[in-house]
Structure 1
């Protein structure tokens, strides 16, 4: 019997346990065929304070040191990762961008006998100044393949020779459909904790950072114009929090703002919503890379509306509404129409859950990764 193929998957985001769900899903999907090990920083400076690696029962995760983690472009891995990469691996899967220092380190340290695959979110046609442009060329010359986290990423990078010459796959980041699932009771408990009667007006929800590019100002302006009764739940935090709270003050008990929600508690808050909105705005330096809140809401059976920024239309497909970004009147119209039609909301909720299970569920995404790795290995036989 041949030995299982050995996969090392690594990235600085793996310090957070929820981000290692992909690694655990690949281990489960490849049981008996793949031996999956994750490498993650032992500690990392998070937005709300330092994060310490907390391995979960049954997972194979190796702590490594990082230096200069406050600036991702120049963050460096310590010698523990170099030594780990010297072991015998069939595939090394790197969740670091190819143009940053840590990506170049992985390219330099990965033995030639292992297939090296990078995963990238870059959906803008950027040209990086030296030394980052040099590192990108070096890294992609070493890479055996790459994974585009979205169709727009594949279109943008596929037009560049250093990427086009390498095999690639479009694979969406996954959502845990066992954690994010329809749970009306949990939603009712959240509403009650917020002081809301469950049979009052529908709840329009927002989940994410309170920053201009996420379009939170568009949503507030759209709600100002809605004729139908509504309540609003904003979950997240960020620089615009004071502005959101000032706006909320005009509506009293109709608006609730909740910050500091742990990721494991997010599904309950999503289930408290009757509609989730992602009104992202494109800027010169940013397109929406995914809209993770959309896949999470769809998995919870909550209807979604998103702007036409970046990857959002590809994520939603026919399972929700795509509304022009920055068009407050259009957002008001569409929100009003959904608030007035429980039947239409129910139809979109059903479509969203089905799409989440078919396209974004972790077991589906994990299998797509392993299939891609298998294809790369077959090319050398």
Structure 2
């Protein structure tokens, strides 16, 4: 995002990106800072602590020094209620506009001290950004969010995520599969909230020839592997695929499924895999959980999140309809180019920032 803002800013914006040197996280692999030597913006890495716990992790004093510089605007890609979000609000100069990005799709009552942190951060904020309609609706009436807001989707790199049959064939060969039955794909965390059990049960109900490719990792990996034993050579599970390695795996699939499930404390907040599937020209089937129906629109197939029979039917119908597959592929690619490509997304960010600075001057 920072790179694209620098690229599309046309010299009117000088962009500096600040990122943790290392982040452990609690669902996927640890991530180390990997700068892009071709980036057209200043990039700084700082220490981060307690990164196994995303709600309480903190940056070091390096961040305070950076935020003390004379910025025209600070954009914080952190939730305003977590420790790191409050830390940015505390370190930023009081006259510098501060913009948070939030993905909270459920109106929660946070325990202390998170409630205090959110209230402080949003009093300090000049505006906020969210990725979808559900989050915008959920938070707009929440205390402290009566500030300028922009609804801007997550983006996708169309140079990396694109239709490329040769890449897909190479993945099939790597997996020990010859060309043959269609491949049903899953990309994301192996956790109950992402609907793995629904998808496994739906696949159990399929007739005819099919294969399934699961790309990701998480707590349900042992259960997924045990289930796969009953399907022999039909199933492949890949747990060591980094994000930059994902495009070839999407090209090895014939359809991507995202059966996300609404939980008491979580709804699908956007679904990055949706726009990546669109960019790769991959037909998409998603559940009606959270933001997925809003992101998909009429460019994919939506199934009730608990409707396992409906999932089986949706997958079978799509695999048996080459014309529908082609239509969804073309429509998804077009939407990715028009709405989700990083340059288009970056322009929306800069337009919002420009409006905030204009309001400040007035």
Partner of 2:18, secondary structure, is strand
Q: How much does 1:320 deviate?
A: 0.4
Counterparts of residues 1-381 of structure 1 (less than 5 Å): 22-46=1-25, 51-59=31-39, 60-163=42-145, 165-198=146-179, 200-381=180-361
Q: What secondary structure sits across from 1:251 in the alignment?
A: helix
Task: Report if aligned partners of 1:230, 1:339 keep a CA contact under 8 Å in 2.
Answer: no
Please tell me whether the aligned partners of residues 86 and 109 of structure 1 are also in contact (alpha carbons under 8 angstroms).
yes
* Residue deviations 1:6-57 (CA, integer Å, cap 9, x gap): xxxxxxxxxxxxxxxx111111111311100011122232556654323221
Secondary structure of the 1:35 match is: coil
Q: How far apart, CA to CA, are the structure 2 residues paired with 1:225 and 1:357?
A: 36
RMSD over aligned CA atoms reads 1.3
Whether the aligned pair in 2 keeps the contact of 1:228 and 1:339 (CA below 8 Å) is: no
Number of equivalences: 358
Please report the TM-score for the alignment, with normalisation by the length of structure 1. Answer: 0.91
TM-score w.r.t. the length of structure 2 is: 0.96
After TM superposition, give the deviation of residue 80 of structure 1 in Å.
1.0
CA-to-aligned-CA distance 1:137-170 (integer Å, 9 cap, x gap) = 111011000001211110100021310x200011
Runs (5+) with no aligned partner, structure 1: 1-21
1:228/1:340 contact within 8 Å kept: no
Distance in 1, Cα, partners of 2:170 & 2:29:
29
1:121 Cα offset (Å):
0.7
Contact 1:76 1:101 in 2 (8 A): yes
> Quick check: 2:25–2:54 contact (8 Å CA) kept in 1?
no
Cα distance between partner residues in 2 of 1:208 and 1:243: 16
61-70 or 112-121: bigger deviation: 61-70
Aligned mates of 2:76, 2:168 — CA distance in 1: 37
Q: Deviations over 1:88-114 (max 9, x none)?
A: 111100011111121111112211332
Mean CA deviation greater in 46-55 or 180-189: 46-55
CA-to-partner distance for each residue in 1:65-87, whole Å, 9 max, x for gaps? 22222222222221111111111
- Deviation >3 Å, runs of 4+: 46-52
Partner SS for 1:378: helix
- 1:115: how far off? 1.2
